[in-house]
Amino acid sequence: MHVEQLLQLESLDLALLWGERPLLTREISGVTATDLEDPARFLQQGEIVLSGLVWWSPEASPAKTDHFVSALRSAGATALLAGEETHGAVPGALVDSCREHGVPLLSVPARTSFRAITEAVYLRQWGDLSRRPAHHYALPENVRTELARLLADGAGPTELLDRAFAHLGRLPCYLLAAGGRTIGRTPSAPELPVQRA
For the question of whether the overall pTM of this predicted structure is more than 0.95, the answer is: no
Estimate to the nearest angstrom the gap between the alpha carbon of 147 and the chain centroid.
21
The domain locations on the chain are 3-120, 139-197
- The tens digit of pLDDT for each residue in 11-56 reads 899 999 999 999 999 999 889 999 999 999 999 999 999 999 999 9
Instruction: Report the alpha-carbon distance of residue 59 to residue 91 in Å, rounded.
Output: 11
Domain 3-120 indexed as CATH 3.40.1390.20 = yes
SS3 103: coil
SS3 175: strand
Question: What pLDDT is attached to residue 197?
Answer: 53
Instruction: Report the alpha-carbon distance of residue 61 to residue 64 in Å, rounded.
Output: 5
Please give the backbone phi and psi of residue 147, each rounded to the nearest 5 degrees, phi first.
-65, -40
Residue 170 half-sphere exposure toward CB, CA atoms < 13 A: 4
- The tens digit of pLDDT for each residue in 110-158 reads 999 999 898 888 877 665 544 455 554 556 666 777 888 888 888 888 8
